[in-house]
Amino acid sequence: MNENEQRGAVVAEARKWMLTPYRHGADIRGVGVDCGMLIVRVFVDLGLIPPFDPRPYDPDWMIHREDEKYLSFFTQRCAPVQKPRPGDIALFRYGRSYSHGGIVTRIDPIAIIHAYHDAGCVIEDQLTQNPALTDPRRKLAYFSIWPTPRN
């Protein structure tokens, strides 16, 4: 598959997880998943990154610690990008560190699929429609497994 086909496969695979209940640390489609394991399952199951398992992790570690545990899962496997494309990853800072993420499905306006605790399941969310994700105090960063083109 070329890059565009891979990106399409990521979005299609993420959509298969829609309405899977939110369950901390779980990774079984239709049964339960959290935001980090959704991203892991999609990319690993498609063979786009080597298998890894970041568990165990406490559900509220970001409230009490400043170490970028969640962010490191992505910086070890991806590169930051300024302008995301479908299939890229959006990471959000909750509490004291980055601790929530989703897969970009659309860019104008930006939408993501994420296992969202507040919704209780995996949903597709337009960022401008979710005040919790666009809160000005929350930092947002985008990452990609695909190399960025050189200018």
CA distances to 1, 2, 106, 133, 140 from 82, in Å: 24, 22, 15, 18, 10
Q: What is the pLDDT confidence band of residue 17, given thresholds at 50, 70 and 90?
A: very high
pTM of this structure? 0.90
Tens digits of residue pLDDT in 45-102: 999 999 988 766 766 655 656 666 667 777 788 999 999 999 999 999 877 788 899 9
The whole-number pLDDT of residue 111 equals 98
Query: Inter-axis angle of helices 3-15 and 35-45, to 10 degrees?
Result: 130
Where do the domains of the chain lie? Answer: 3-144
CATH superfamily ID and name for 3-144:
endopeptidase domain like (from Nostoc punctiforme) (3.90.1720.10)
7 in Cβ contact with 85 (< 8 Å): yes
Tens digits of residue pLDDT in 117-138: 999 999 999 999 999 888 888 8
Q: What is the pLDDT confidence band of residue 151, given thresholds at 50, 70 and 90?
A: very low
Bond into 59 cis (ω within 30): no
Torsion (CA) 89, 55, 120, 95 in degrees, nearest 10 = -70
Tens digits of residue pLDDT in 26-45: 999 999 999 999 999 999 99
